[in-house]
Copies of this chain bind each other. A is one copy, B any other.
Amino acid sequence: MSRLTARLLISCPDGSGIIAAVAGFVADHSGNILEADQHSDPRHGEFYMRVEIDCAGFALAEDSFAEAWAPIAARFDMRWRVYWGDHAKRMAIFVTRESHCLSDLLWRWRTGELRVQIPLVISNHDELREIVESCSVPFHHVPISGEGKTGQETHVLSLLRDANVDFLVLARYMQVLTPTFVRTYLDRIINIHHSFLPAFAGPKPYHQAYERGVKIIGATSHYVTDDLDQGPIIAQDTLAVDHRDTVEDLVRKGRDLERVVLARAVRYHVEDKILVSNNKTVVFK
């Protein structure tokens, strides 16, 4: 990521000649393709592509790209986005009381592993203020007061707008967002759920896992939709456990899984490697 790149993400009906057209377009504008990935979904007849172009030498830039690109986009009926490499995405983190995912994201950000800006952290509780402020990141305690969730969300949304946020990470945020909120940041809210979804959706998944006597536990990172824990899955991982593990052991072991799975999903999002379609993700690793 040291050199500047443009990342072009494309979805369109599957067909012939798409790769040739895209690669030809880049070549015609003196661009060098650093990475190209594509995927055809025969079930839905859809085609997905990600092209990473070296900005050095590329004849197009943020202000001239759209016009030059329009004929190809029209010809193949493409939905497309392009991200330019000099912009570090602005990430808001939402937390409640658990610190492990938050601390992990802050650590990755401070060491430069995760190339983002963190304009603010929002919480419905005040416990994690110190961790956040010790990193010189603004912490906003927005409790759910008498006026209920709507009032709180209105406040939160205005904070996000003011901070010009690109995407949200729910780092163990124990609140369900309203459909209005979700729509505002569709495919831009990343949640971590502490089970291998679709198993153990809903509250207390480690307790559910303990009661069921599973021999593996898991963690799932997904985009948030209106259906709780049903959004498009970005990343998952699992870990072996056995009868000796208490609920507390599952919680402890799960923390290591959660923070790694969440960080992986955030990284894919930040590097513009994810396309969402039909409630599933295409992740060009």
Contact = CB atoms under 8 A, between A and B. Distances in A.
Interface of A: 16-17, 19-21, 23-24, 26-27, 30-42, 99-100, 103, 107, 111, 113, 134, 196-200, 212-216, 218, 232-238, 240, 242-244, 246, 252, 255-256, 260, 263, 279-283, 285
B38 A36 contact: yes
Nearest to A28: B20
A216 B242 contact: no
A105 to B, nearest CB: 12
The 5 closest A-B pairs by CB, nearest first: A213-B280, A20-B23, A199-B199, A20-B27, A19-B23
Contact of A39 (B213, B237, B240, B244): B244
A260 B283 CA distance: 25
Tell me which of A20, A246, A256, A285 has the highest count of chain B C-beta atoms within 10 A of its own C-beta.
Answer: A20
27 contacts: A16-B33, A19-B23, A19-B33, A19-B36, A20-B20, A36-B38, A41-B243, A42-B246, A113-B252, A196-B238, A198-B199, A198-B212, A199-B199, A212-B233, A212-B280, A213-B233, A213-B279, A214-B233, A215-B235, A216-B238, A218-B238, A242-B283, A242-B285, A243-B280, A243-B281, A243-B282, A243-B283
A134 B198 CA distance: 41
A253 to B, nearest CB: 10
Nearest to A57: B16
A213 B24 contact: no
Contacts of A246: 42
A193 to B, nearest CB: 12
A150 B285 CA distance: 47
Contacts of A41: 243
Contacts of A235: 215
A95 B18 CA distance: 47
A213 B34 CA distance: 21
Contacts of A21: 27
Contacts of A215: 233-236, 283
Contact of A27 (B16, B39, B199, B240): B16
Given A215-B235, A232-B213, A280-B243, A27 B38 contact: no
A34 to B, nearest CB: 7
B236 A214 contact: yes
Nearest to A247: B43
Contact of A19 (B19, B40, B244): B19
Given A35-B38, A215-B283, 13 more contacts: A23-B23, A23-B24, A36-B38, A39-B244, A196-B218, A196-B238, A197-B214, A212-B233, A213-B233, A214-B236, A215-B234, A243-B282, A243-B283
